[in-house]
Amino acid sequence: MSIDVTRNGAILEVTINRPKANAIDASTSREMSSVFDSFMRDPDLRVAILTGAGAKFFSAGWDLGAANEGESFESDYGVGGFGGISELKYRPKPVIAAINGMAVGGGFEIALAADLIVAAEHAEFFLPETTLGLIADNATIRLPRVLPPNIAREMLISGRRMSASEAQNWGIVNQVTTSDDLMPAARRLAEKICLSAPLSVAAVLELMRELETVSTGDAMKVLRENLTYRSAIESQDATEGTKAFAEKRAPKWQGK
Q: Distances from the Cα of 80 to the Cαs of 12, 30, 249, in angstroms?
A: 17, 8, 39
Q: Is 234 a catalytic residue?
A: no
**Among residues 13, 124, 129, 206, which one is catalytic?**
129
Q: Are strands 47-52 and 95-99 parallel, antiparallel or unpaired?
A: parallel
Written as one string, the DSSP assignment of 101-147 is SEEETHHHHHHHHSSEEEEETT-EEE--GGGGT---HHHHHHHHHHS
Residues 6+ apart with CB under 8 A from 126: 102, 103, 104, 105, 108, 155, 159, 160, 161, 162
**Among residues 13, 31, 109, 124, which one is catalytic?**
109
Tell me the catalytic residues: 109, 129
